[in-house]
Amino acid sequence: MIFVNKPSFSGNEKKYLLDCIKTGWISSEGKYVKRFEKKFAKFVNRKFSTTVTNGSVALEIAIRALNLKKGSEVILPTFTIISCCNAVINAGLKPVLVDCYLNTYNMNVSQVEDKINKNTSAILMTHIYGITVDVDKILYLAKKYKLKVIEDAAEVHGQKYKKKNCGSFGDISTFSFYVNKHITTGEGGMILTNNQNVYKYILKLKNLYFGKGLNRFRHQGIGWNQRFTNIQAAIGLAQLENIKKTVKKKHAIGEYYTKKLSFLSEKIQLPLTSIDYCQNIYWVYGILVKDNQRLAAKKVIKMLKKEGIECRPFFSPMHEQPIYLKMQMFKNKYFPISEKISKKGFYIPSGIGITRKEQDIVIKKITKVFEN
């Protein structure tokens, strides 16, 4: 089986991990946590950063840290991971959805302004699958209507929008270090901001709102225990040191697939190699089955699995999530592009650890499915 993702540990991961074990610093205290946070902030071009247990928690704490008015509305894409919508709901806010574009899969920024009203407090923009949101248009609307911006950069480690680093935009940004990301620590996340007061609040929220000194166990607020370990940070630091090589390798993986699969362009839509504001970083290599093909993505995934190729379906849109339908949150809401690509889209093995030989096998099996 060629799996959809295979990580790579080709740098100092083992060296740093052995140092953690040797010194006994394996929990949330230790030199690698601060080193990783500091270097990641510099890499992204933010003033402040702090690690947390995963990307979903990063979103939860980031939104809480902005102190948005309870019951106010946050605009976000319907085509995204459920963590985004959950974080909005869990903060006592109302998610307001917009559709996505067919070519980039990112939120349709032309629909955002129509959703803004006196109750809107923020926009949550999530970069999807390797191409970024058209950030300037979101920042313009946020400034015009005095809204906060949360940038979910979980899928775009090392990506740039108009030569500026993703994760550097808006009031606050978040990353995930799950195993399928360009930088992985197994599980893990990061929150970044340029606002010192927001940063201090994040530190309290992620660490049980501990007091200082002898008052450590006198808590002035409600927080979580979402600390990152020195072991995770050791892996993360080693991965960060190799990020340029990783991005280069991911470009090569994506470009090779495009070169070899382009002859099927009448049957499948391949991801954009670039758009006027960024080059695809290929977090995943997504394929969309065209309307002239009767195959749904789930059928293709099953067929490829029988051939030894693991694939994954695209996200299911928020307005079609069973739990939200049960909660009657998005009644009578229709977002045709998101609905279409969730049924027709899937992504193929493209992890940093994939070999050219494995790619050739994937290409051969995809060709078999769509030429029969």
Mean per-residue pLDDT, 54-83: 98
Could you read off the pLDDT of 222-249 as tens digits, one per residue? 999 999 999 999 999 999 999 999 999 9
Q: Are residues 343 and 311 in the same domain?
A: yes
State residue 118's pLDDT score.
97
Residues 166 and 254 placed together within one structural domain of the fold: no
Phi, psi (deg, nearest 5) at residue 22:
-65, -40
Q: What is the DSSP code string of 33-79?
A: HHHHHHHHHHHHT-SEEEEES-HHHHHHHHHHHTTPPTT-EEEEESS
Banded pLDDT at 294 (limits 50, 70, 90): confident
The answer to whether residues 84 and 199 belong to one domain is: yes
Domain count for the chain, please give it: 2
Q: Tens of pLDDT along 107-164?
A: 999 999 999 999 999 999 999 999 999 999 999 999 999 999 999 999 999 999 999 9
Domain region containing 267: 243-371
CA–CA distance, 25 with 46 (Å, rounded to integer): 27
Distances from the Cα of 302 to the Cα of 198, 244, 285, 311, 350, angstroms: 46, 35, 18, 9, 18
pLDDT tens string 242-273: 999 999 999 999 999 999 999 999 999 999 99
Grouping H, G, I as helix, E, B as strand and the rest as coil, residue 355 is coil
pTM for the model stands at 0.96
Q: Taking a C-beta distance cutoff of 8 angstroms, is the pair 169, 135 a contact?
A: yes
Residue 349, in any domain of the structure: yes
46 and 131, same domain (yes or no): yes
Q: What is the pLDDT of residue 290?
A: 96
Residue 22 lies in a domain: yes
At 372 the pLDDT is 73
In a domain, 365, yes or no: yes
Q: Last residue of a domain, which of 241, 256, 291?
A: 241
- Domain termination residue (choose one: 225, 241, 257): 241
The span from the CA of 338 to the CA of 324, in Å, is 16
- Cα 263 vs. chain centroid, distance in angstroms? 30
Identity at 328, one-letter amino acid code: Q
Q: Are residues 252 and 183 in the same domain?
A: no
Q: Are residues 124 and 189 in the same domain?
A: yes
Residue 79 sits in the same domain as residue 168: yes
220 lies in the same domain as 317: no
Last residue of a domain, one of 226, 241, 256: 241
Whether residues 280 and 186 share a domain: the answer is no
Pair 194, 47: CB distance under 8 Å: yes
Are 232 and 247 in a shared domain? no
CA distance 39 to 236: 10
Evaluate whether residue 47 is within a structural domain: yes
Same domain, 342 and 248: yes
The DSSP letter of residue 206 is: H
Domain presence at residue 148: yes
Note whether 224 and 247 are same-domain residues: no
Please tell me the distance from the alpha carbon of residue 145 to that of residue 143, in angstroms, as a whole number.
Answer: 6
Q: Any idea what the CATH number is for the domain that residue 269 is in?
A: 3.90.1150.10
